[in-house]
Every structure is written in structure tokens, then in C-alpha cells.
A and B are shown apart, each in its own frame.
Chain A
Amino acid sequence: DTGVSQDPRHKITKRGQNVTFRCDPISEHNRLYWYRQTLGQGPEFLTYFQNEAQLEKSRLLSDRFSAERPKGSFSTLEIQRTEQGDSAMYLCASSPSGGEVRADEQFFGPGTRLTVL
């Protein structure tokens, strides 16, 4: 299967702990996005990479959040000192870039569901 994959699928942690999530995009896609989704809401943009460069960060991304994409392939999202308000589904998406009108269609992974106790 060549879709977007995320690991782990579920994570339960205690408040104050650090957590790290991984996303493997579709192999030929050079754009990678992180979103957060809570129950009854649409996904909210967190950050975006083109290759290894982090080009955009949302105001939602506090200094407890950091994302990397060191080799322009997989990406990690780390949350330090987790809070109960961080409980959400964290979605990763990838897209190709190019001249086509639809080049930025984003393909989503299955998500990592984080529960902070």
C-alpha cells in the first residue's frame, strides 16, 4: 500500500509527559502537512513542510510543539509537557507539487489519536 501512514495509531499518556508521532507520506510527495482534529470539528492546520523545509506554522502550534522532516521524507511531531487540551486526532497529509491545477490535493493518513489523562 502506498498511502500515507502514521504511527502510533493510538497513544495514551499522562499529563506532563512528552509524546512523538511519526508520519510517512506517499513516497513521491514532497509536501507534508500536520493537522489536529477534535470531536465535531474539522481538521485545523498546524504546520507544513516542502521537502525538509518547514514553511508554515499555525498560531495553534505553541512552543511545546515541534515538527521535523530531516531528510524530506518522513516527519515527526513532538508534543512536550502534554496537557489535557492536547487530546485530539493528529492527522498527517501529503501532496505532490507541480503545475497541475489539482497538484495540491492532500491525501490524509489514518491519524494518531492522543488521549492525555
Chain B
Amino acid sequence: GQNIDQPTEMTATEGAIVQINCTYQTSGFNGLFWYQQHAGEAPTFLSYNVLDGLEEKGRFSSFLSRSKGYSYLLLKELQMKDSASYLCAVRSNQAGTALIFGKGTTLSVSS
């Protein structure tokens, strides 16, 4: 079966660093995506990993370990506008090009 796990909720304060973990078990693997979704809005692309290691993009970084079926999204210098749901998604070979999403992690940033 296909399974993607991430924490349901996380809280943090402005200026802090937060790490959102994602573990996956899928029948194939052809890339892992992180999306941000504000309440009532569409998901927007944040990052993509297909090889092991860290991808850095401004305040956001994403890490992948394919052997462990594990990824994390690291958000630095948190801002109030970072309060949103963060979705981990895997592109599985057997699912073609469709993405399999986790349930999302709701991040609340307070001042």
C-alpha cells in the first residue's frame, strides 16, 4: 500500500526554526514534493527532492533520505505568514505522474 505520515499539528514562535518530518512507504519512488497550503487556498509548490540530500531555497530547505523513506522541511526565521498547512507528497512510479499526499501538518506561528 501507499502511506505517507506527517505530524498533524506543530506550533512555533516568530523568528524560530521548525522542522516538519515526513515518512513514506510507497510501492515506488520518483520524487518527493513539499507544498504549502493556506486555509481556503490552493497548494503552492515549495520544494522537490529526488536525490538524497538537502535542497536549500531561501528560508526553506528540504532533505531526503530514500533508504529511510524520510524527508523533512526546515523553515527558518519564521514569520506569521508561514502559518499554514504543509503537505508532503510522493510521486510513485506505480501511480504514474500523480502525487500521493500526506494529510498535511498545520503550523501555527505566534508572536
Contact = CB atoms under 8 A, between A and B. Distances in A.
A56 B103 contact: no
Contact of A109 (B31, B42, B87, B91): B42
Contacts, number: 59
A28 interface: no
Contact of B91 (A4, A40, A58, A104): A104
Given A4-B42, A40-B103, A42-B87, 10 more contacts: A33-B98, A43-B99, A45-B95, A56-B95, A56-B97, A91-B42, A95-B97, A101-B50, A104-B31, A111-B42
B96 A56 contact: yes
A71 B4 CA distance: 35
Given A56-B96, A104-B31, A42 B42 contact: no
Contact of B42 (A44, A55, A110): A110
